[in-house]
A and B are shown apart, each in its own frame.
Chain A
Amino acid sequence: AQTVTQSQPEMSVQEAETVTLSCTYDTSESDYYLFWYKQPPSRQMILVIRQEAYKQQNATENRFSVNFQKAAKSFSLKISDSQLGDAAMYFCAYRGTFMEYGNKLVFGAGTILRVKS
């Protein structure tokens, strides 16, 4: 079974600085999807960024980028120029591509990101 591990329960960053959130996963599949979701306090969880495992190029979305290391099964999220609105719980998630797994997401336990002004 696939597992996702986020080893940092909490992280802090100064406004305008850069922070990296870690995620590792375990799978025997060669093709899959990886995601970072953001859950602000008392607000809906939203998708931040997605990476397809067959793509070597790291995904980027404005100030958010990932460092995808397939061999190491590592998928970290880098937030540049951190803003107060980035404060949230961040979840790393995995989805396999086999039809029998369905659209099932496997989540990590989350990392709380605090942004200091």
Chain B
Amino acid sequence: ETGVTQTPRHLVMGMTNKKSLKCEQHLGHNAMYWYKQSAKKPLELMFVYNFKEQTENNSVPSRFSPECPNSSHLFLHLHTLQPEDSALYLCASSQDYRGAYNEQFFGPGTRLTVL
């Protein structure tokens, strides 16, 4: 596969469940991102990892727990979510996070519904 892939594409979970979202990039990039996309709102940057180190955490609730085991994989672990957490979760990657501009490439997203 090429580009940025995300699994699952759709997920329905109860508030007491624990689930994980997976992102994989095949571009040789060193920076990976999690975004939350809610209807009629701008994309919200949640986390950034650069060379496997967490660089940004935009005041995300602790019920979202990211993990970056290597530069190609990024996970978002979910537990005790709320219905307002229902959204499209997008993963992106870029060559680097610091320095000159470099393009972010996005995955197709995971549509999450919390019941």
Q: A interface vs B, CB < 8 Å?
A: 4, 9, 33, 37, 42-47, 91, 95, 97, 99, 102-110
Contacts and interface: CB of A to CB of B under 8 A. Distances in A.
Interface stretch (B11-19, B40-48, B60-68): B40-48
A104 B56 contact: yes
B19 to A, nearest CB: 21
A107 B42 contact: yes
B45 A99 contact: no
A107 B43 contact: yes
A45 to B, nearest CB: 4
Contacts of A95: 101
B4 A44 contact: yes
Given A43-B108, A91-B43, 9 more contacts: A44-B3, A44-B108, A44-B109, A95-B101, A99-B98, A104-B45, A104-B56, A105-B45, A109-B42
Interface centre among A43, A102, A108 (most CB of B within 10 A): A102
28 contacts: A33-B101, A42-B108, A43-B108, A44-B106, A44-B107, A44-B109, A46-B106, A47-B103, A91-B43, A97-B101, A99-B98, A99-B99, A102-B48, A102-B50, A102-B55, A102-B56, A103-B31, A103-B94, A103-B96, A103-B97, A103-B102, A103-B104, A105-B43, A105-B45, A107-B42, A108-B42, A109-B42, A110-B40
Interface residues of B, number: 26
Given A103-B94, A103-B97, A109 B41 contact: yes
B21 interface: no
Interface string B1-28: 0011000000000000000000000000
Contacts of A91: 42-43
B74 interface: no
Nearest to A42: B108
